[in-house]
Structure 1
């Protein structure tokens, strides 16, 4: 069986960090694109979003946060506009996968680091509220596309989404940067490299990277297969599969807010460990979701619990980096190393799905469920090692 046959032709795909519009692209270019190729657009965009921290981290430490936010916003909107003109696969990959991925990469570290630096006592809560915009965008843009595609057609539907993105980016820039909309350089004139070699000799840094890698490896995979599972295993419509995904995203908004409030009172590390373990367990309990009602419950609980895995690591990382002036560089390095999980997770899941199957309608979801749950549990238990290192090496007491 070929690799292309592991995913149904009518599958809908979205990433956690941003809606990829893969479904929209597929609907408009059904005759020239293979679904596996579409999946690579989303995974490559997600990877660039995180690995872009190698560049945006040092630039943030140098004080170029204003420039990065405006350039990242422009590049992201430009990529979406170019998507409306694309008619071949390479153009779609360049506009959505590369251009938008680079734009999001310039926005990610400044957005997270500015919020993290501005809040000392309620950092986890602030990051939870800030990052809840990602699943909210997944819902808003999906509804926009479904409502406008028949009325405006694909090109103008994508352009309408781009205009909304531009308005939201500008609003976010004003709120993040305050009244002074200008490029501000850091007080220090010391040159900073993309890589700080001190991090490679730091045990807490590597513990953070490995734990986050395995959590990311399993975290993103269920979102790729929620619509497929609903259609092929439960026999529901494509609309129902998309609705379950949106329910999961809506629950993610609530989870990011309420679980980060829990982190404020019980500690970010405790909340991170709790969410990692429970998310892994939920992936394994996915095996018992043999009805639509049970599957909706799984999607809601998984989205609500796992969503907090995005804002909690940066709130803990403030304790990992020993030099506050280098937190942007270190965070960019750590997130970039962990980002390879977003490239490896879906292909591994696709390979496991093909074991014992005879076509796209007979995927082996057991392998996906066990893989996601096992690697997330492994990453969650590694967090106990990170906590021990922070306690012994950094002298941090409690669970932060």
Structure 2
């Protein structure tokens, strides 16, 4: 029992037990207390009085220790379970601090990955001009792939209680990767530092940044996840602008180091404020194989795989497209990526707020479909105004697509809440394969033809993805009686 009444009950019970241990009848003790002014104590010798006083003090100390022992045993027992949705606070200072910490983690995993478009252009034009766009795109695609590839490992490790080591190792990987990147001049060096080191660090940060929110929020989980996921838009907006302006001022090496220092400062805050509330009591498996037989789960994964395969065609090549088609001059072209990421921040919060009311699948499906239509619109863009309109709309709707999968995985795992980390990790493992293949395939298409077919590829993949997600939603609803929100 908790609260003031609970404390009174425990204190009263403890006092009752102490009186029993001392050989007193509690009722008699109360009576003697009430008639204390009429009681005449017997006269005792000084020595005998001291002995009784000492004995009484010892009994009091022992009684207090016994009482504390009984109380500590009660409070040390677990009072909540990860499967008990009614115990989830769904708000409060500690819960919103987790949102802040998760936001900062998103700044430094998806936010950094969303920044690669500006690096792609810089590598193509300056640092690695002898390499094709497809070859350079492997750096960003492997970085994205590793973020999801380590998911099957990070999910069970998180569930096993290693949240703190995960975010510490991930923070070290992201920061040290940028410091090493500042020294790179060759393709293989850039690949090791940016693709492998930063990618693995981001992978360690990702699952903890989303899984922890489901233990603090229930009804407002999608909103909390959306606010956190807006960190990737924040990072994807601030980091490219910083890189673009810093390189002419201090050079590529120091520009990259400054990005590393920004990451260090924000990750320190995240490490300080984030705290695990409750963890499953059972051991977790690396894989939950029965989940692979669940139609809603697998259809959504198939749709998300195709969506992420087509999504980053627009984000990675939009800047080089604006330059190649003479739509924007070099001083404005890089802002196209910043506009996409800036609009994406609204697309991660507003649709997520609505998703709390309607269900995440009911939002992510139309958002994915509209993203595909907008990607196809890039085929006919030839002027500044239409380009920025497309960037704003693409950023907004793709923001919902990028931010809602964790919430969808939670909604598809309510019957296995204790396996959320594992199932989310498995899902993002498959999604990461789409991330790995998407930009190189777009690069190969660009090498063989032009941007028209790049946008056709990206838009088609997104539209097909929305159809697969819709099939998953239908399968989920048919399995529920009565029908509930998806």
The interval holding the TM-score normalised by the smaller chain is 0.7 to 0.9
Question: Which of these residues, 452, 456, 462, is aligned with residue 370 of structure 1?
Answer: 456
Corresponding residue number in structure 2 for 1:128:
226
Measured against aligned partners, the alpha-carbon deviations of 1:350-382 in whole angstroms (never above 9, x if no partner) come to 333344x4xxxxx2x221222212221111112
The answer on 1:19 being equivalent to 2:115 is yes
Match of 2:357, SS? helix
Q: Secondary structure at the match of 2:286?
A: coil
Tell me the distance in 2 between the aligned counterparts of 1:154 and 1:396.
Answer: 59
1:86, 1:92 within 8 Å by CA — same for their partners in 2? yes
Q: Could you tell me which residue of structure 1 aligns to residue 337 of structure 2?
A: 245
Cα distance, 1:25 vs structure 2: 5.3
Matched, 1:380 2:466: yes
C-alpha distance in 2 between matches for 1:88 and 1:30: 7
- State the structure with more CA Rg: 2
Q: Is the aligned partner of 1:40 residue 2:132?
A: no
Pairs within 5 Å for 1:277-316: 277-316=369-408
- Give runs of ≥4 in structure 1 deviating > 6 Å: none
In 2, the alpha carbon distance for the partners of 1:158 and 1:63 equals 33
Could you say which residue in structure 2 is the equivalent of 1:107?
205
Cα pair 1:17 1:135 within 8 Å, conserved: no
Other structure's SS at 1:399 match: coil
Do structure 1's residue 254 and structure 2's residue 254 form an aligned pair?
no
Give the TM-score normalised by structure 2.
0.72
CA distance in 1, matches of 2:192, 2:253: 16
Q: Deviations over 1:293-339 (max 9, x none)?
A: 10110011100111111121111111222311111111101110121
Cα gap change, 1:231 to 1:396, in 2 (>3 Å): farther
Is contact 2:121-2:319 (8 Å) kept? no
Residue in structure 2 matching 1:226, options 288, 303, 318: 318
- Structure 1 residues 324 and 262 mapped into 2: Cα distance closer, same or farther (>3 Å)? same
Q: State the shift of 1:28 in Å.
A: 6.2
In the alignment, the residues of structure 1 paired with residue 130 and residue 452 of structure 2 have an alpha-carbon distance, to the nearest angstrom, of: 31
Question: How far apart, in 1, do the equivalents of 2:234 and 2:169 lie?
Answer: 23
CA distance in 1, matches of 2:234, 2:425: 24
Deviations 1:103-142 (A, max 9, x none): 0000000001112332111111111111111121122122
Once residues 268 and 374 of structure 1 are traced to their aligned partners in structure 2, the CA distance between those partners, rounded to angstroms, is 22
Distance 1:146 1:29 in 2: 14
Deviations 1:30-89 (A, max 9, x none): 466554432211110000011110111111111111110111101111111111122322
Q: Aligned residues, how many?
A: 374
Q: Distance in 1 between matches of 2:132 and 2:473?
A: 44
Within-5 A mapping of 1:136-215? 136-177=234-275, 186=279, 188=281, 190=283, 192-215=284-307
Aligned-partner SS, 1:134:
helix
Give the C-alpha shift of residue 395 in structure 1.
4.7
CA distance in 2 between partners of 1:25 and 1:368 (Å): 20
Quickly say closer, same or farther: Cα 1:272–1:31, change in 2 above 3 A: closer
Q: Distance in 2 between matches of 1:395 and 1:329?
A: 26
Aligned to 2:424: 331
Picking from 264, 273, 277, the partner of 2:365 is 273
Partners of 1:116 and 1:314 within 8 A in 2: no
The Cα shift of 1:162 comes to: 0.7
Instruction: Give the TM-score taking structure 1 as reference length.
Output: 0.87
Shift of 1:22: 4.1
**Pair 346,320 (structure 1): closer, same or farther in 2 beyond 3 Å:** same
CA distance in 1, matches of 2:111, 2:272: 26
- Asked if the contact 1:76/1:100 (under 8 Å) is kept, the reply is yes
Alpha-carbon distance, 1:230 to partner: 1.0
- Give structure 1 stretches of 5+ with no counterpart: 1-13, 358-362
Are the aligned partners of 1:138 and 1:246 in contact in 2 as well (CA < 8 Å)?
A: yes
Aligned-partner SS, 1:38: helix
5+ long unaligned stretches in structure 2: 1-109
CA distance in 2, matches of 1:234, 1:398: 50
Task: Show the counterpart of 1:11.
Answer: none
Give 3-state SS (helix, strand or coil) of 1:297's partner.
helix
Deviation at 1:393, TM superposition (A): 2.9
| 2:440 aligned residue (347, 365, 369) | 347
RMSD across aligned C-alpha pairs, in angstroms? Answer: 2.3
Q: Tell me, what secondary structure is at the counterpart of 2:385?
A: helix
The answer on 1:91 being equivalent to 2:185 is: no
